[in-house]
Amino acid sequence: MTSPLRLGILGSGKGSNFQVLVEAARSKSCYYEPVMVLSDVADAGILKLAEQFKIPAHFLAPGPFKTKLTEAIEQEMVTYLQAAQVDFVALAGFMRVVKEPLLKAFPGRILNIHPSLLPQFPGLAAWKQACEAHVAETGCTVHLVDEGIDTGKILGQSRVPVFPEDTPEMVHARIQVAEHELYPRIVNEFARTISKSA
């Protein structure tokens, strides 16, 4: 096996998906290695986890917008990632829409995990959307990031049931269990594919 690809991770929250990505990367059969964490939230749990795992991490002030970063801040993220020689990027609970500086720097190499079976329920609080729609199942999707909201090419999905008595919190917890299996597996498959095509 060649050297693992260098993975940059962007996150805004507690970092549970980041943690499973790191733990999976410690397997001998893993094709990626997390080398950089960036967050738009100063006290995000993902930054504390990165410190515990001894992975370089930085907070970047998000600027004035609620759902996106300014172009200058996103370019600063690109600078950090390129300085770390990152090969590809995974979003792990990153609550901002990714725009051109990142998309241009890593074309077709930014992955995200979304808590629904896309194209169903894009956007925020997808588990609540699933409950309100009274669907019998939902799940999670790993997809490539493009200019749209959860519209990129689907790389993998995992399904979970939704029961009539479920609360949105119960559905969300069930989805997270599925996410923690799916995301490292698909990220590793993606890294292996890139390695073979390089």
Q: Would the pLDDT of 1 be above 60?
A: no
Strands 32-39, 5-11: pairing is: parallel
Question: Residue 198: which pLDDT band, with cuts at 50, 70 and 90?
Answer: low
21-80 pLDDT, tens digit per residue, is 999 998 878 999 999 999 999 999 999 999 999 999 999 998 898 888 999 999 999 999
Which of these, 25, 52, 16, 46, lies nearest to 60 by C-alpha position?
Answer: 46
Nearest-Å Rg of the Cα atoms of the chain is: 16
Query: Cα dist. 144→4, 100, 139 in Å?
Result: 20, 14, 17
Give the catalytic positions in this structure.
114
pLDDT at 62: 87
124-133 pLDDT, tens digit per residue, is 899 999 999 9
Crossing angle, helix 16-25 and helix 45-52, to 10 degrees? Answer: 20
pLDDT at 38: 98
Average pLDDT over residues 149-163: 96
For the entire predicted model, the pTM comes to 0.95
Residue 72 is part of a domain; what is its CATH number?
Answer: 3.40.50.170
120-154 pLDDT, tens digit per residue, is 999 989 999 999 999 999 999 999 999 999 999 99
Q: 61 is in which domain, residue-wise?
A: 5-197
- How many folded domains does the chain comprise? 1
Rounded to an integer, what distance in angstroms lies between the CA atom of residue 185 and that of residue 21?
A: 9
Mean model confidence pLDDT for the chain? 95
Q: Would the pLDDT of 100 be above 80?
A: yes
